[in-house]
Amino acid sequence: MTARPGVLAGVAALLLAFTPAASAQDQPDQPPLPGLPQSAEIQLKLQRDGSLSVAEAISVPNGATMNRRVPLKTPAAHHRDRVYRLRDVVLEGSGSAQLDGDVFTAHLTEGTSILRYTVDGAVSADEGGVEHVTWPLAGGWDTELKLVRASFAAPRIPTAVDCVAGPDGSGTHCGAAQIDHAGLTRFSQQNLPAGQRMSATVELPPGTVPANAKLVPSATIGGAFVRTPPVIAAWWGFAAVLVVAAVLVWLTRRRDARPGEPLPVELLSPDGEFASPDGVLPGHVATVTTGRASPVDLAATVLDLVVRNYLWVSAEDTGWRLTRRNPADEHLTVFERAVFAVVLPDGEDSVTLAELRRRRIDIGQVRDALHADVVRNGWFSQPPSRRLGRLGRAGIRVVFYGLFLTVLLAFTVGYAQLGVIVMLAGAAAVVASALLPARRSSGRLLRRRLCGLGERLALTTAKSLAKPERELVFSRGLPYALALGELGAWTSIFAELKHPPPLYWCEAEVPIGRAGEFAAALAGAFAAARRGRLFTDAGSTG
């Protein structure tokens, strides 16, 4: 009986699949030639520098061609691609082979050809140092391979081996994959369909060769957010800047929270005029010292307008009355004119404290003018009521710039986390702006001088002043005593004199002892008016 050709081919394939190939140590550069047409014999040798030398012998049937296309960038875990690099490509036989970017192609014509090349990037190491050598033994062919056999040699004996065959993503094991008694790893697979791959992974002990696998972010949205060395360096740089900024903010807030020692202050200038530190007004005192405005600011300002002859004070059976004495002029600040308008709006010439107490006073405009004053004088970098300064407003813009940059990088070159870092930097600037004190160094110095002024008002004796100076010093110092909480001490100092100075801004029959009573009533009137429409305080400068 005559055997059919198909049966003979099948028997020959089985014999070849289980026939040992020549040892790689015996023939390191010459793979065995295929015994079947349309088959491949592959020899891999891992060099001590981590490169993988590959020699493929491919048998092409008469009158046919075989083409192979191997992508050198393949998907890996965690939104990454694994990149192989081929070099030293040599083709012995008929056909051609070439590298085109991230793709290796080969075109073979009839006969047996030997394809040699070196692979970089095939060795990876896990966290324990165990190394894995991975390479597609066969794949990307446009024709079926009747038989694929391969051998793998390494400087040390492998500890495990794995081989899969079939379509991309399948986990079907190869026909054979084993480590022989000599430490050589062998693989074989029959009837590999066109377009399917045969891929081998060999596990080696730690430190066998240097790991050289190259992973790059994949060209996807997820890959755009993968941490790469530049991104990691940017995160570390951002963290360092954040720590330095946090320390600076903490030091600045700590310095601002400590008033420091009071500085000595003189009540009279060399030419005999009453002089406040840096020209500060009584209405500025609370904002400069505490960072918060209060009804006392308004009361002290009104009292200052009284002693400067813009308002007249008279005592009535029903209480105290304020009367317009001079119009608000250019010598008053915007803040003082705003307070003047609150007390005596257009069309009114006088008001009692009882009437003032019952008013629902809208003093938001007064507060804004007050804050504009402290900024204009250079004591604050921004209005104390404003939580965000220039740094914060710039930070908000940077957040939106970072958002735009994140989207742009995610859809173009990757490294989208750089945009995230920019957004976080903007957010950090906003937080820092909210935490940084608005009070400048000149404001801190003025605060110390105001503390010194408070001590001077409490410790001054009337007898230490010349008689002609007492009237001026008492009246001009009275609003500051009210603002600094030294009203009782200041009035008692002059009330004990045998001949107290007259109150030129009040009815003659009102004794000096009642000056403190009037000032306290004035503060009480504004505090009561605050309950009608809540006084919007400036908030903390911290």
The pLDDT of residue 84: 94
Chain position carrying tokens 């250019």:
330
Per DSSP bridges, beta strands 39-46 and 145-153 are parallel
CB 487 within 8 A of CB 517: no
Interval 100-131: pLDDT, tens: 888 999 999 999 999 999 999 999 998 889 99
**Residue among 309, 310, 349 nearest 327 (CA):** 310
323 confidence band (pLDDT: 50, 70, 90):
very high
pTM of the shown model: 0.71
Q: 319 in helix, strand or coil?
A: strand
Domain ranges, ordered by start, for the chain? 20-218, 260-356+443-532
Q: What is the pLDDT of residue 361?
A: 67
Residue carrying structure tokens 């009540």: 267
**Could you read off the pLDDT of 445-498 as tens digits, one per residue?**
999 999 999 999 888 888 888 888 888 899 999 999 999 999 888 988 888 888
**Cα angle, residue 436 at apex, residues 434 and 438 outer, rounded to 5°:** 95
N-term to C-term CA, the chain: 104
pLDDT digits (tens, 9 = 90+) for 378-426: 999 888 877 788 889 999 999 999 999 999 999 998 899 999 999 999 9
Residue appearing with tokens 């793709």: 103
CATH topology of domain 20-218: Immunoglobulin-like (2.60.40)
What is the maximum alpha-carbon separation in the chain? 152
pLDDT at 268 over 90: no
Residue 509 tokens read as: 């029959």
Residue 433 has pLDDT above 80, yes or no: yes
**pLDDT on residue 24:** 36
Half-sphere exposure of 353 (CA within 13 A, CB side): 25
User: For residue 6, with 0-12 CB atoms within 10 Å meaning exposed, 13-18 middle and 19 or more buried, which class applies?
Assistant: exposed
Answer yes or no: are the C-beta atoms of 83 and 219 closer than 8 Å.
no
| Token pair recorded at residue 36 | 């079947």
User: What value does the mean pLDDT of the chain take?
Assistant: 86
Query: Which pLDDT does position 22 carry in this prediction?
Result: 38
CA distance 408 to 414: 9
pLDDT at 532: 46
% of the chain beyond a pLDDT of 90: 54
Q: Closest Cα partner for 178 from 196, 205, 209, 152?
A: 152
Tokens of 85: 């690099």
DSSP 131-175: EEEEEEEE--BSS-EEEEEEEEE-SS--SEEEEEEESTT--PBPS
